[in-house]
Amino acid sequence: MPWSFAWTRPPEITSPPAPLNGGAGSAWLIDAQLRLAAVLVLVVLALSIAVAQAASLAGSITVGQWPSAAALNPTTRRLYVPNWADDTISVIDAATYRVRDTISSGVGREPADADVNTRANLVYIANDAGRSLSVLDGASDTVVATVDLGGNGGDVAFDPKTNRVFVTVYSANQVDVIDGSSYALLGSVSVGQSPLGIAVNPKTNRIYVANYDSDTLSIIDGKRHRVVATLPTGHNPRGLAINPVVNCLYVSNAGDNTVWVMDLATEQFTGVSIAVGTDPRRIIVNPRTNHAFVSNTGSDSISMIDGATNTVIQTLSVGSGPRDGSVNTAKNQVFIVNSGGDTVSVLQE
């Protein structure tokens, strides 16, 4: 638990105090007591801040084989976890931490990522080997549609403002664009090599894509469906997440164990590089606490970043091979999927 306080040394005493019978001696004693009290207040304040910043492990949920992602519908309080190795979706009650259903029918091969359309109560699931997008009805928890992609599905992001679904297709170096209601494939946007991470900014209609093998970030105009800028990143950019509190984009670089920070007002990197754990993957943000959580797959840990200072304020050990997660902002709960342990860790802020 990181905490610190500033210690102020009392002034050097160059002569002994006068006898404690009133006058200067009593004043000196009172002054010393006040200084001591001030130091104690600083200590208590520092401890209080540290406690407020800390997150703790509140539970663990067993799911299917090799869970790869998590997406929460805050309205229904259902957490959807694609299990990459057994082609299923675990549906978890976020209030009780219990698996309420395991969906296999209609799910594509190697489901890799998921995102939620809260208004329509739909879940979009990108399938890796299935080269498709599965659409799940959240009311019945059944697959209602399958959309063919241009190659292997990577990550998926839904834009609630335009009702568009964006899927990185890493084997074809492109992003497929799908209508969120009709499920029609609207087109594809060519990007860098092996695009994986993706994030949507509904306020500006911009889509950000991490190109893993070309060490770049593509910025897509969501209206015209074309790349408007390509920026260099760290080595092997993997995960992307937007922090609306400070209007920035986080980019995890799996190859050099860092997180870079972009100012979304200028769409330029700030020069901030945050050291995290080994092989950082996806990032999730809790806007209520202004904290970002980085899944360090290689070190079985989560780095918690303070959005105000861009510093790691806590490192938490979780299950084996954490890869992704989702946040329940109403309860300040963070769900982390652990691929190596077939579990979901629950963190409480």
- 241 secondary structure, DSSP code: E
Tens digit of each residue's pLDDT (9 = 90 or more) over 147-171? 999 999 999 999 999 999 999 999 9
Give the mean pLDDT of the chain.
90
Are 127 and 108 contacting, i.e. CB atoms less than 8 angstroms apart?
Answer: yes
Query: Distance between terminal CA atoms of the chain?
Result: 13
- Helix/strand/coil (H, E, C) string of 110-163? CEEEEEEECCCCEEEEEECCCCEEEEEECCCCEEEEEEECCCCEEEEEEECCCC
Smallest CA-to-CA distance from 247 within 229, 232, 261, 227 is with 261
- 């769409």: which residue's tokens? 267
Tens digit of each residue's pLDDT (9 = 90 or more) over 64-106? 999 999 999 999 999 999 999 999 999 999 999 999 999 999 9
Is pLDDT above 80 for 41? Answer: no
Neighbours of 297 (CB within 10 A): 22
CA 81 to CA 91: how far, in whole Å?
A: 7
CA 70 to CA 29: how far, in whole Å?
A: 60
- Side-chain-side CA neighbours of residue 197 (13 Å): 33
pLDDT band at 325 (very low <50, low <70, confident <90, very high): very high
Burial call 52-62: b when 16+ CB within 10 Å, e when fewer: ebbbeeeeebe
Model-level pTM?
0.86
Domains of the chain: 1-53 (no CATH), 60-348 (2.130.10.10)
- With H, G, I as helix, E, B as strand and everything else as coil, classify residue 47: helix
Is pLDDT above 90 for 49? Answer: no
Are 115 and 153 contacting, i.e. CB atoms less than 8 angstroms apart?
Answer: no
Are 198 and 211 contacting, i.e. CB atoms less than 8 angstroms apart?
Answer: no
